[in-house]
């Protein structure tokens, strides 16, 4: 067997063992201690920010308004280009319907004229415009309306109705004059009859006394009875005239009633169908016309073109209010939410603009929701520099740009983080 003791005492081993140790070995423990102290000092000196991460959506204080299609159909025309400035109530696009835009414009103008004439009680002077346009589902209403307007004009302007009313009124006036004349005649005859009665009584006394003959008495009696008959005839004429006046007044009343009733019927038809068409036009505007509710800039949400079929409920455009300050809305988890407070710095990275190329947006927390929504809290952030990034680049805004955000809650030293980890382990 080999002798290990002999190998230990070999020349190489003896040489190593006889050489004194270097300074590294002599001062090694001291060096390690110094390195540890320097590391602890640097850990205490360097601060590392504590952040809460969440999803960010960029918007404005007055959020963009999305325009929704109210009725399925093909796009008839698009009036405004992407990123163009629009004004309130400006038409942006139109959906095809049974009522064409030309027919709609005609009806709108015509209904305005009819409404003014109706309010001014001058429908009999109105002349409808001739047209060959078709009004779709409003055609029946328009036909009834036009017929009622023409019938109303004919009723008021035709000579027959006016003549009958005027003629009957004149007859009543003449009959009343005749009645008054008869009354005056009766008043005049009343005195004559009174005198005739007295004369007849005197003649009768004379006849009974034999002063006048029988034939003479009979003649005077005949004259007296003739006077009474004339009074009776006048009374009869008075009654007949009164009856005639009553009948004529009834005829006149019927004529006027029928006239007013027909006029009222036509006016009701005009008002009913006029209101139906006005309401339909207003509904048509809301259903088939896409208009801007505010002043601002338009942004296309989809690629669209004329004659493209669009389903009801689709969002085609967004109107971005002008001169608005930009804000970010963050959704952060419950974990660490208690660290978030107003005024903390927020760094936002947008998905559309890579942060290594464009930089980040800076903001400050302006408000924090008290109640979570779907396991997340909502945090609003004001962007003090707008869309200017940390690389001094101005980003182009588009509605509801998304990205990630980091809320810097506090700057912790590295030593604090280490001790926090150790404390957690021991707990």
The full set of domain ranges for the chain reads: 4-45, 49-61+325-426, 73-94+289-314, 103-287
The overall average pLDDT reported for the chain is 79
Give the pLDDT score at 403: 92
Highest-scoring range by mean pLDDT, 158-167, 203-212, 330-339: 330-339
- pLDDT digit string, tens, across residues 94-128: 888 888 888 888 988 999 999 998 888 888 888 88
Give the pLDDT score at 380: 92
CA dihedral 131, 134, 139, 143 (to 10 degrees): 20
Highest-scoring range by mean pLDDT, 171-180, 189-198, 414-423: 171-180
CA dihedral 150, 156, 158, 159 (to 10 degrees): 180
Q: Which of 249 and 192 is assigned the larger pLDDT? A: 249
Pick from 52, 67, 17: nearest CA to 320: 67
- pLDDT digit string, tens, across residues 47-70: 556 778 889 998 887 778 888 888
Cβ(93)–Cβ(290) under 8 Å? yes
Distances (CA, A) of 211 to 11, 144, 208, 218: 215, 91, 8, 14
Give the pLDDT score at 1: 44
Residue 290 above 80 pLDDT?
yes
| Angle at alpha carbon of residue 42, lines to 36 and 45, rounded to 5° | 145
Q: Which of 154 and 203 is assigned the larger pLDDT? A: 154
Give the pLDDT score at 62: 78
Q: Report domain 49-61+325-426's class.
A: mainly beta
- pLDDT digit string, tens, across residues 219-272: 666 666 666 677 777 778 888 888 888 888 888 888 888 888 888 888 888 898
- Fold annotation for 103-287: Helix Hairpins (1.10.287)
CB-based burial label for 317 (10 Å; 0-12, 13-18, 19+): buried
Average pLDDT over residues 364-385: 86
Distances (CA, A) of 387 to 55, 165, 221, 326, 344: 18, 81, 127, 8, 18
Average pLDDT over residues 361-386: 87
Cβ(122)–Cβ(89) under 8 Å? no
3-class DSSP assignment, residue 272: helix
Whole-angstrom distance, CA of residue 87 vs CA of residue 294:
6
């Amino acid at each position: 067997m080999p002798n290990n003791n002999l190998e230990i005492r070999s020349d190489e081993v003896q040489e190593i063992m006889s050489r004194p140790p270097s300074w590294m070995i002599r001062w090694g423990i001291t060096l390690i201690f110094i390195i540890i102290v320097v590391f602890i000092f640097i850990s205490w000196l360097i601060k590392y920010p504590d952040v809460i991460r969440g999803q960010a959506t960029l918007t404005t204080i007055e959020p963009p308004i999305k325009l929704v299609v109210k009725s399925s159909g093909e796009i008839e025309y698009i009036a405004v280009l992407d990123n163009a400035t629009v004004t309130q109530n400006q038409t942006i696009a139109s959906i095809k319907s049974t009522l064409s835009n030309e027919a709609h414009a005609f009806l709108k103008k015509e209904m305005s004229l009819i409404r003014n004439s109706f309010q001014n009680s001058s429908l009999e002077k109105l002349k409808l415009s001739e047209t060959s346009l078709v009004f779709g589902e409003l055609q029946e209403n328009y036909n009834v309306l036009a017929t009622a307007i023409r019938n109303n004009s004919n009723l008021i302007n035709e000579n027959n109705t006016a003549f009958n009313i005027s003629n009957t009124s004149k007859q009543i006036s003449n009959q009343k004059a005749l009645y008054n004349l008869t009354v005056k005649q009766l008043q005049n005859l009343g005195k004559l009859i009174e005198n005739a009665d007295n004369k007849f009584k005197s003649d009768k006394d004379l006849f009974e006394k034999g002063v006048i003959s029988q034939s003479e008495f009979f003649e005077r009696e005949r004259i007296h009875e003739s006077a009474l008959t004339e009074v009776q005839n006048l009374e009869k004429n008075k009654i007949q005239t009164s009856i005639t006046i009553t009948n004529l007044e009834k005829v006149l009343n019927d004529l006027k009633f029928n006239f007013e009733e027909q006029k009222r019927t036509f006016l009701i038809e005009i008002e009913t169908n006029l209101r139906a068409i006005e309401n339909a036009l207003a509904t048509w505007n809301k259903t088939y016309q896409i208009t801007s509710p505010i002043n601002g800039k338009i942004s296309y949400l989809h690629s669209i073109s004329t004659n493209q079929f669009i389903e009801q409920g689709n969002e085609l455009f967004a109107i971005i209010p002008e001169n608005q300050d930009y804000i970010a809305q963050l959704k952060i988890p419950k974990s660490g939410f208690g660290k978030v407070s107003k005024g903390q710095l927020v760094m936002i990275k947008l998905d559309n603009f890579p942060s290594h190329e464009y930089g980040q947006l800076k903001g400050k927390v302006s408000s924090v929701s008290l109640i979570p929504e779907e396991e997340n809290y909502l945090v609003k952030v004001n962007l003090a520099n707008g869309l200017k990034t940390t690389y001094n680049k101005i980003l182009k805004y588009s509605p509801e740009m998304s990205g990630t955000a980091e809320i810097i809650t506090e700057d912790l030293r590295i030593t604090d983080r280490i001790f926090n980890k150790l404390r957690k382990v021991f707990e």
